[in-house]
Amino acid sequence: MSRGAAFVARGFSWRVALLGLVLIPLNCFWVQQMEIVWYSAQPTTIALYFHVIFTLAVLLLGNWLARVPAPALGRRLRPVIGPLAAPAERWAPRLALDPGELLVLYIMLAISTSLAGHDALEILVPIMSFGFWNATPENRWHELFHRLLPRHLTVANEKILKGYYLGGDTLYTWEHLRAWAMPIMLWTAFILVAVFVMLCINTIVRRQWTEKERLAFPIIQIPLEICQPRTMLFRNRLFWIGIAAAGLIDIVNGLSFLYPSVPSLPVRRIDLNQYIVDRPWVGVGWLPISFYPFAIGLGYLLPLDLLFSSWFFFWVWKAQRIMTFALGWENRPDFPYVNQQSFGAYLGLALFALYVA
């Protein structure tokens, strides 16, 4: 059993379950605020969710405070909380979470983020009502497909949808709750079944991936490292230099966005296609170059063969586009069928993974 699996196996406890039940709604609310209300950061577009790492860091800080030697803790807290310093001095060390509990919380928050983020609940909830609210006499949606939409899976009442789309209303009325309750319960049941199926797939491929192929699972390496009991990561000078460099780039570019007079650091995506004008090379299409710190950092954690294949097949895709223009086939719809090729590759990998498992 790997060290991470060993930690998690003994990390579940009732206090972790209760803490997770508190943190999951707050975590999902934070995701919705960033991705829908503010439309910024977009944490679920990147596999390593930065807001979950931040939450884990806050929990680690709480652990550190709880494990401060009792006399020192009492001296620090006495001026702040007065008579409560003595009980805090006694009980604080017992509140500290062990590495297994921290990893279980990380897993709970990461999974809830996946369900709440892009291409999941963020899309599902608006879809429940989109076809009815956006129907107009011009698009004739009510004639084309309204009769095909199951009423128990959608919200069709325009009076109720007005408050949802335009604001100035509340969900917490009997009429609104009754309209949304049935679709939400049915879709929740569907999501729970889908999650259960994915857990079953994990069970099928776990032994092949972890014990035979020994995959690196690079995304989990950072959470696993910072949860170690005596991790040296926070004492590593290069670690803090990396955080400072990435933070400086983000701060400078954020100031440049708010105040255009501040020069920005050119790390964002630049499309090189704008400099290509001759056929058939213009067929290369979108050709970005960027220097995102998070992508560079994740690249150091990925196996070399995976990094090479990502680079190699990117250029295979571009070579297909150039060949399409060279042969004059660019007017054929969707040619060279990149999305279909990608789907076929995913399907082939999935079937092969299940076969060897």
- pLDDT tens string 21-42: 999 999 999 999 998 888 887 8
- Cis peptide before 229, with omega less than 30 degrees from 0? no
Please give the Cα distance from 235 to 225 (Å, whole number).
12
Q: What pLDDT shows up at residue 83?
A: 57
Q: What pLDDT shows up at residue 180?
A: 93
Structure tokens that stand for 290 in this block: 């960027």
Q: Is the pLDDT of residue 320 over 90?
A: yes
Q: What pLDDT shows up at residue 76?
A: 56
Kindly report, residue by residue over 170-211, the tens digit of the pLDDT. Answer: 888 899 999 999 999 999 999 999 999 999 998 988 888 888
Q: Is the pLDDT of residue 103 over 70?
A: yes
Q: Is the pLDDT of residue 81 over 60?
A: no
Residue 309 CA to chain centroid, in angstroms?
Answer: 23
- Cis peptide before 25, with omega less than 30 degrees from 0? no
Locate tokens 């949304």: which residue? 180
Kindly report, residue by residue over 121-140, the tens digit of the pLDDT. Answer: 888 988 999 999 999 999 99
What are the residue boundaries of the structural domains of the chain, listed by start?
1-118, 268-356
Q: What is the share, in percent, of the chain residues with pLDDT greater than 90?
A: 34
Q: Is the pLDDT of residue 87 over 80?
A: no
Contact residues for 160 (Cβ-Cβ < 8 A; gap 6+):
175, 176, 179, 180
Q: What pLDDT shows up at residue 79?
A: 57
Please give the Cα distance from 216 to 227 (Å, whole number).
17
Residue range 80-86: mean pLDDT, rounded = 54
Measuring CA to CA, how many Å separate 221 from each of 53, 194, 218, 262, 300? Answer: 12, 26, 5, 36, 11
Q: What pLDDT shows up at residue 78?
A: 53
Q: Is the pLDDT of residue 111 over 90?
A: yes
Residue 1 CA to chain centroid, in angstroms?
Answer: 27
Residue range 256-283: mean pLDDT, rounded = 86
Confidence of residue 5 (pLDDT cuts 50, 70, 90): low
CA 318-324-327 angle, to 5 degrees, is 140
Q: Is the pLDDT of residue 141 over 90?
A: yes
Q: What pLDDT shows up at residue 72?
A: 54
Q: What pLDDT shows up at residue 13?
A: 82
Q: Is the pLDDT of residue 319 over 90?
A: yes
Measuring CA to CA, how many Å separate 343 from each of 150, 244, 281, 339? Answer: 29, 39, 26, 6
Confidence of residue 213 (pLDDT cuts 50, 70, 90): confident
* Of 104, 139, 128, nearest in space to 181 by CA: 128
The answer to whether the beta carbons of residues 161 and 126 sit under 8 Å apart is: no
Q: Is the pLDDT of residue 90 over 80?
A: no
